[in-house]
Amino acid sequence: MRMKTATKSIEPVSIRVEFDDNRLLPSVFGEHGRNLARIEKLLGVSLNNKGNLVTISGVMETVETARDALDRLYGSAVRGHNIDQAEVDAAVRMAEGTDEGLMQGAEPFIQTRRKRIVARSKNQAHYMRTIGAHDMVFATGPAGTGKTYLAVCAAVAMLTAGRVDRIVLSRPAVEAGERLGFLPGDMRDKVDPYMQPLYDALYDALPAEQVVKRLETGEIEVAPLAFMRGRTLSNAYVILDEAQNTTPVQMKMALTRIGENSRMVITGDVTQVDLPGGQRSGLADALETLAGVKGIEFVQFTQADVVRHELVTRIIQAYELSDARKGEAK
């Protein structure tokens, strides 16, 4: 793709973008131009296409963002990706978040048996680089930002590449409390409902038969946090999900399970604590206690990184505004 003209100005401007391969344009533009319409809606620009030329009009900053988003979509089409609304939204988020540091190297991706996962926000790109380079990473922020999903996909990629021998996925079964014994079925039947989000990510990264086989052989283990006590997890990729629902004692226990040639990713949202009786969250405690400890990295997501339905972002914003008002009223 080649940009034909561009003029820096604080006044409304127009630039023309030319695409090299007309065969890719139906995928880039979308059926009846719906991808272009989506970019117009998100950025407040005007897009007009004629053949392989697109004219972008608006304020310079948003015009350049739209151009970068189109460039990303064209690149996705070249790589054979299916371009849907989520892909368009991701391209706009990434274009809005680009800076010199991000553009110095290739955008990160995770390759699993089923798909290639690419970042859909600047923070996701940072997160993917971080979990690929560090032994222990804390990822915090609201639901829908990809914290758990990307961690599971990275774990699957490392397992299938032979870089670790097993994956251990864990969550605190806070909702069940001491009532697990009263639920029907064996222990797996009792805890599986609380682990379903982890299973969902596994099945998205691996063929179903591979998930079943690796669960049976123990290469992949999905278990409640209590099952980690007393163990040393070597040559493993460990993910502690919903970590805001651990107590400080449980968090310390979990973190000290990490063994030789292992990695651990801890995910959670400190605004969504379900612990009874106002107990202090082990995640919040760890973020304070471990700040500055060498070898531990922290990634903070925000509502701007939400990659689910756009209503999720609006809901999070509404709750954040409500919490702020309540805080001012105290």
- Kindly report, residue by residue over 38-68, the tens digit of the pLDDT: 888 888 889 998 888 999 998 888 888 888 8
Q: Are residues 221 and 150 in the same domain?
A: yes
* pLDDT at 307 (0 to 100): 73
Q: Is residue 274 in a domain? A: yes
pLDDT band at residue 77 using 50, 70 and 90 as cut-offs:
confident
Asked if residue 5 has pLDDT above 60, the reply is no
Q: Is residue 138 in a domain? A: yes
pTM above 0.85, yes or no: no
Q: Are residues 223 and 83 in the same domain?
A: no
Which of residues 330 and 105 earns the better pLDDT score?
330
Q: Are residues 74 and 198 in the same domain?
A: no
- Burial (CB < 10 A; 0-12, 13-18, 19+), residue 101, is exposed
Q: Are residues 55 and 182 in the same domain?
A: no
* pLDDT at 6 (0 to 100): 42
Q: Are residues 21 and 91 in the same domain?
A: yes
Q: Is residue 108 in a domain? A: no
Q: Is residue 109 in a domain? A: no
CATH code of the domain in which 46 resides = 3.30.1370.10
Q: Are residues 137 and 281 in the same domain?
A: yes
pLDDT band at residue 99 using 50, 70 and 90 as cut-offs:
very low
* pLDDT at 107 (0 to 100): 63
The residue out of 46, 63, 98 marking a domain boundary is 98
Q: Are residues 86 and 156 in the same domain?
A: no
The residue out of 98, 126, 144 marking a domain boundary is 98
Question: Containing domain of residue 128, as a range?
Answer: 118-329
Q: Is residue 35 in a domain? A: yes
CATH code of the domain in which 287 resides = 3.40.50.300
Q: Is residue 207 in a domain? A: yes
Q: Is residue 113 in a domain? A: no
pLDDT in tens, 160-215: 888 889 999 998 876 534 344 444 555 555 556 777 888 888 998 899 999 999 99
Q: Are residues 282 and 228 in the same domain?
A: yes
* pLDDT at 10 (0 to 100): 57
Which of residues 112 and 31 earns the better pLDDT score?
31
Identify residue 263 by its one-letter amino acid code.
R
Q: What angle do CA 319, 322, 325 make, to 5 degrees?
A: 155
Q: Name which of 148, 243, 123 is nearest 204 in CA terms.
A: 148
Q: Report the number of distinct structural domains present in the chain.
A: 2
